[in-house]
Amino acid sequence: MNGELFSSVFVLLLVLDPLGNIPFVLSLLRNVPQSRRPAIILRECAIAVVVLIVFLFVGDHLLVAMKLSDPALEIAGGLILFLIALRMVFPPADRGSAEHEMDGEPFIVPLAVPMIAGPSALATVLLASRQSGQMTVWLSAVVIASAINAVCLLASGWFARLFGKAGMEALERLMGLILTTMAVQMLISGIRIAFRLG
Protein backbone atom coordinates (compact mmCIF):
# COMPACT_ATOMS: atom_id res chain seq x y z
CA MET A 1 0.00 0.00 0.00
CA ASN A 2 1.64 3.25 -1.10
CA GLY A 3 1.65 6.43 0.95
CA GLU A 4 -1.25 8.15 -0.79
CA LEU A 5 -3.45 5.06 -0.60
CA PHE A 6 -2.65 4.56 3.09
CA SER A 7 -3.41 8.22 3.82
CA SER A 8 -6.71 8.06 1.89
CA VAL A 9 -7.81 4.89 3.69
CA PHE A 10 -6.86 6.42 7.06
CA VAL A 11 -8.87 9.59 6.40
CA LEU A 12 -11.92 7.61 5.27
CA LEU A 13 -11.73 5.37 8.34
CA LEU A 14 -11.63 8.40 10.61
CA VAL A 15 -14.68 9.83 8.84
CA LEU A 16 -16.58 6.52 8.75
CA ASP A 17 -15.80 6.13 12.48
CA PRO A 18 -16.63 2.39 12.78
CA LEU A 19 -15.75 2.18 16.48
CA GLY A 20 -17.90 5.20 17.28
CA ASN A 21 -20.83 3.65 15.41
CA ILE A 22 -20.70 0.34 17.29
CA PRO A 23 -23.10 1.46 20.08
CA PHE A 24 -25.53 2.70 17.40
CA VAL A 25 -25.39 -0.65 15.55
CA LEU A 26 -25.86 -2.68 18.73
CA SER A 27 -28.87 -0.58 19.69
CA LEU A 28 -30.33 -0.62 16.18
CA LEU A 29 -30.11 -4.42 15.83
CA ARG A 30 -31.09 -5.23 19.39
CA ASN A 31 -34.44 -6.72 18.32
CA VAL A 32 -32.98 -8.61 15.34
CA PRO A 33 -32.06 -12.30 15.79
CA GLN A 34 -28.32 -12.85 16.27
CA SER A 35 -28.14 -15.10 13.21
CA ARG A 36 -29.49 -12.34 10.93
CA ARG A 37 -27.21 -9.53 12.08
CA PRO A 38 -24.11 -10.36 9.96
CA ALA A 39 -26.20 -10.54 6.76
CA ILE A 40 -27.87 -7.20 7.52
CA ILE A 41 -24.57 -5.48 8.30
CA LEU A 42 -22.94 -6.80 5.10
CA ARG A 43 -25.94 -5.77 2.99
CA GLU A 44 -26.02 -2.25 4.41
CA CYS A 45 -22.23 -1.86 4.06
CA ALA A 46 -22.48 -2.96 0.39
CA ILE A 47 -25.20 -0.36 -0.26
CA ALA A 48 -23.08 2.32 1.41
CA VAL A 49 -20.05 1.40 -0.75
CA VAL A 50 -22.14 1.81 -3.92
CA VAL A 51 -23.36 5.24 -2.76
CA LEU A 52 -19.80 6.38 -1.92
CA ILE A 53 -18.42 5.19 -5.28
CA VAL A 54 -21.19 6.98 -7.18
CA PHE A 55 -20.36 10.22 -5.36
CA LEU A 56 -16.65 9.67 -6.02
CA PHE A 57 -17.18 9.60 -9.78
CA VAL A 58 -19.91 12.24 -10.16
CA GLY A 59 -18.50 14.60 -7.54
CA ASP A 60 -16.07 16.30 -9.91
CA HIS A 61 -18.85 17.09 -12.40
CA LEU A 62 -21.04 18.51 -9.63
CA LEU A 63 -18.29 20.76 -8.32
CA VAL A 64 -17.31 21.98 -11.79
CA ALA A 65 -20.95 22.77 -12.52
CA MET A 66 -21.09 24.80 -9.30
CA LYS A 67 -17.83 26.62 -10.27
CA LEU A 68 -16.09 26.02 -6.96
CA SER A 69 -12.35 26.81 -6.70
CA ASP A 70 -9.73 24.50 -5.20
CA PRO A 71 -9.00 26.79 -2.19
CA ALA A 72 -12.71 26.98 -1.41
CA LEU A 73 -12.92 23.19 -1.53
CA GLU A 74 -9.92 22.76 0.73
CA ILE A 75 -11.23 25.26 3.28
CA ALA A 76 -14.70 23.68 3.13
CA GLY A 77 -13.18 20.22 3.55
CA GLY A 78 -11.19 21.40 6.56
CA LEU A 79 -14.30 22.87 8.17
CA ILE A 80 -16.29 19.69 7.54
CA LEU A 81 -13.57 17.48 9.02
CA PHE A 82 -13.21 19.86 11.98
CA LEU A 83 -16.94 19.62 12.76
CA ILE A 84 -16.77 15.83 12.49
CA ALA A 85 -13.77 15.80 14.83
CA LEU A 86 -15.62 17.95 17.38
CA ARG A 87 -18.50 15.45 17.41
CA MET A 88 -16.00 12.64 17.98
CA VAL A 89 -14.22 14.43 20.83
CA PHE A 90 -17.51 15.74 22.30
CA PRO A 91 -20.17 13.21 21.18
CA PRO A 92 -23.87 14.07 21.65
CA ALA A 93 -25.36 12.62 24.81
CA ASP A 94 -28.09 10.66 22.98
CA ARG A 95 -25.79 8.84 20.55
CA GLY A 96 -26.44 5.11 20.56
CA SER A 97 -29.41 5.50 22.87
CA ALA A 98 -32.49 3.32 22.84
CA GLU A 99 -34.37 5.75 20.63
CA HIS A 100 -32.56 4.19 17.65
CA GLU A 101 -34.19 0.79 18.19
CA MET A 102 -36.36 -0.55 15.38
CA ASP A 103 -39.07 -3.19 15.34
CA GLY A 104 -37.91 -4.72 12.04
CA GLU A 105 -34.74 -4.96 10.02
CA PRO A 106 -33.16 -1.69 8.86
CA PHE A 107 -32.95 -1.28 5.09
CA ILE A 108 -30.77 1.50 3.66
CA VAL A 109 -31.95 3.98 6.32
CA PRO A 110 -30.51 4.56 8.89
CA LEU A 111 -27.65 2.04 8.72
CA ALA A 112 -26.31 2.39 5.15
CA VAL A 113 -27.41 6.02 4.88
CA PRO A 114 -26.75 8.17 6.84
CA MET A 115 -24.73 6.17 9.40
CA ILE A 116 -22.07 4.78 7.02
CA ALA A 117 -22.49 6.83 3.84
CA GLY A 118 -23.44 9.97 5.72
CA PRO A 119 -22.90 13.64 4.86
CA SER A 120 -19.32 13.61 6.17
CA ALA A 121 -18.24 10.55 4.16
CA LEU A 122 -20.01 11.77 1.04
CA ALA A 123 -18.42 15.21 1.37
CA THR A 124 -14.98 13.62 1.80
CA VAL A 125 -15.18 11.54 -1.40
CA LEU A 126 -16.79 14.46 -3.21
CA LEU A 127 -13.85 16.71 -2.37
CA ALA A 128 -11.39 13.93 -3.12
CA SER A 129 -12.82 13.44 -6.60
CA ARG A 130 -12.11 17.10 -7.31
CA GLN A 131 -8.66 17.38 -5.74
CA SER A 132 -7.04 14.02 -6.53
CA GLY A 133 -5.73 13.18 -9.96
CA GLN A 134 -5.61 9.46 -9.13
CA MET A 135 -9.17 8.19 -9.03
CA THR A 136 -8.02 4.57 -8.82
CA VAL A 137 -6.29 5.35 -5.52
CA TRP A 138 -9.45 6.81 -4.01
CA LEU A 139 -11.59 4.01 -5.46
CA SER A 140 -9.30 1.49 -3.80
CA ALA A 141 -9.36 3.55 -0.60
CA VAL A 142 -13.18 3.55 -0.54
CA VAL A 143 -13.28 -0.23 -1.00
CA ILE A 144 -10.55 -0.94 1.58
CA ALA A 145 -11.89 1.49 4.19
CA SER A 146 -15.43 0.18 3.69
CA ALA A 147 -14.21 -3.42 4.09
CA ILE A 148 -12.41 -2.53 7.35
CA ASN A 149 -15.53 -0.67 8.49
CA ALA A 150 -17.66 -3.74 7.74
CA VAL A 151 -15.31 -6.01 9.69
CA CYS A 152 -15.43 -3.66 12.69
CA LEU A 153 -19.23 -3.54 12.61
CA LEU A 154 -19.45 -7.33 12.26
CA ALA A 155 -17.28 -7.58 15.37
CA SER A 156 -19.27 -4.93 17.23
CA GLY A 157 -20.29 -7.28 20.03
CA TRP A 158 -16.70 -8.41 20.55
CA PHE A 159 -15.36 -4.83 20.57
CA ALA A 160 -18.03 -3.76 23.07
CA ARG A 161 -17.09 -6.57 25.44
CA LEU A 162 -13.34 -6.04 24.99
CA PHE A 163 -13.12 -2.29 25.55
CA GLY A 164 -16.29 -1.56 27.47
CA LYS A 165 -18.17 1.72 27.20
CA ALA A 166 -15.36 3.84 28.64
CA GLY A 167 -12.74 2.27 26.38
CA MET A 168 -14.85 2.81 23.25
CA GLU A 169 -15.37 6.46 24.16
CA ALA A 170 -11.64 6.94 24.76
CA LEU A 171 -10.75 5.43 21.35
CA GLU A 172 -13.25 7.64 19.57
CA ARG A 173 -11.90 10.77 21.27
CA LEU A 174 -8.35 9.80 20.26
CA MET A 175 -9.43 9.46 16.61
CA GLY A 176 -11.21 12.79 16.92
CA LEU A 177 -8.00 14.49 18.10
CA ILE A 178 -6.08 13.09 15.12
CA LEU A 179 -8.81 14.22 12.73
CA THR A 180 -8.74 17.71 14.30
CA THR A 181 -5.08 18.20 13.40
CA MET A 182 -5.75 17.03 9.82
CA ALA A 183 -8.67 19.46 9.53
CA VAL A 184 -6.57 22.39 10.77
CA GLN A 185 -3.84 21.53 8.27
CA MET A 186 -6.39 21.55 5.43
CA LEU A 187 -7.66 24.96 6.57
CA ILE A 188 -4.12 26.38 6.71
CA SER A 189 -3.33 25.03 3.24
CA GLY A 190 -6.56 26.40 1.75
CA ILE A 191 -6.07 29.86 3.30
CA ARG A 192 -2.46 30.02 2.08
CA ILE A 193 -3.54 29.24 -1.50
CA ALA A 194 -6.53 31.60 -1.41
CA PHE A 195 -4.54 34.58 -0.11
CA ARG A 196 -1.24 33.66 -1.83
CA LEU A 197 0.65 33.53 1.46
CA GLY A 198 3.34 31.28 0.08
184 in Cβ contact with 76 (< 8 Å): no
Query: What is the number of other CB atoms lying within 10 angstroms of the CB of residue 14?
Result: 23
Omega before residue 114 within 30° of 0, cis: yes
* Cα 118 to Cα 99: distance, rounded to the nearest angstrom: 19
Q: In the prediction, which pLDDT does 98 show?
A: 40
* Cα 12 to Cα 139: distance, rounded to the nearest angstrom: 11
Least confident piece of the model among 11-20, 87-96, 163-172: 87-96
Omega before residue 38 within 30° of 0, cis: no
Number of compact structural domains in the chain: 1
The sign of the CA dihedral 38, 44, 47, 52 is negative
169 in Cβ contact with 64 (< 8 Å): no
DSSP state of 32: S
**pLDDT single digits (tens) 116-162:** 987 778 878 887 766 666 788 889 999 999 999 999 999 998 988 88
Give the global pTM.
Answer: 0.77
Domain carrying residue 176: 3-194
**pLDDT single digits (tens) 25-45:** 887 888 889 899 999 999 999
